[in-house]
Amino acid sequence: MQVYSYVITLVRDQSAAEEITQNTFYRAMTAKNEFAGGSNVFTWLCSIAKRLAADEFRKNRKQEELEDTLSAETDFAKNLEDRSMALQIHLVLHKLPEPYKEVFQLRVFGELSFQQIGWIFGKTENWARVTYHRARLKIQERMDDDGAK
């Protein structure tokens, strides 16, 4: 229990402390012939635990650095892809006939409700929903056509 208490102060994580403590006793049992007896058994166990905790810390830090690097690369690629897609949508949107173009812009960029869009056009909320849906379909069709070229 004393070794576990020592490890928990090092790692501040219950599951990691339990695993390190278990590995400490495993290492001690498999290396008991190496114990010279020049120090207290508790001190020897704590030194094993400290090394295992340091190894765990280094392993986790390397894993986090790798994940951060991969995340940054993925984010950059996704951002570049999103920008390209946004430009393509804006080009298609620019050529979209009215009222589809304005309804789509009011909904997506203006973040207006269908009720508000209908009110702007002097139409019903349902008309705004249908018009927006048709605009999305037209944009998708034109993007698919551009992608096929």
- pLDDT for residue 108: 83
Longest dimension (CA), the chain: 92
* 139, HSE (Cβ side, Cα atoms, 13 Å): 23
Whether 7 and 62 map to the same domain: the answer is yes
Token pair 């190496």 is at which residue?
34
Same domain, 13 and 49: yes
Provide the pLDDT for residue 147. Answer: 60
Domain end among 68, 83, 105? 68
Q: Measure the CA–CA gap between 141 and 29, rounded to whole angstroms.
A: 69
pLDDT of residue 126: 93
What pLDDT does residue 47 have? 87
List, for residues 20-70, the tens digit of each pLDDT value.
999 998 888 888 777 776 778 888 888 888 888 888 888 888 777 767 665
User: At residue 112, what are phi and psi to the nearest 5 degrees?
Assistant: -90, 155
Token duo for residue 65: 């650095």
Number of domains comprising the chain: 2
- The candidate with the shortest Cα–Cα distance to 52, out of 4, 104, 92, 99, is 4
The CATH number linked to 32 is 1.10.1740.10
34 located within any domain: yes
Query: Of 14, 48, 68, which residue sits at a domain end?
Result: 68
Domain residues for the domain of 100 are 96-148
**Is residue 48 a part of any domain in this protein?**
yes
Tens-digit pLDDT profile for residues 78-132: 665 677 777 887 888 888 899 998 998 888 888 888 999 999 999 999 999 999 9
Residue 59, pLDDT score: 82
Is 89 within the bounds of a domain? no
Q: Output the six-digit token pair for 121.
A: 């056009």
pLDDT value for 74: 59
Q: Would you state the pLDDT for residue 145?
A: 77
Q: Tell me whether residue 137 is in a domain.
A: yes
Whether residue 76 lies inside any domain: the answer is no
131: domain CATH number is: 1.10.10.10
Q: What is the pTM of this model?
A: 0.45
Does 81 reside within a domain?
no
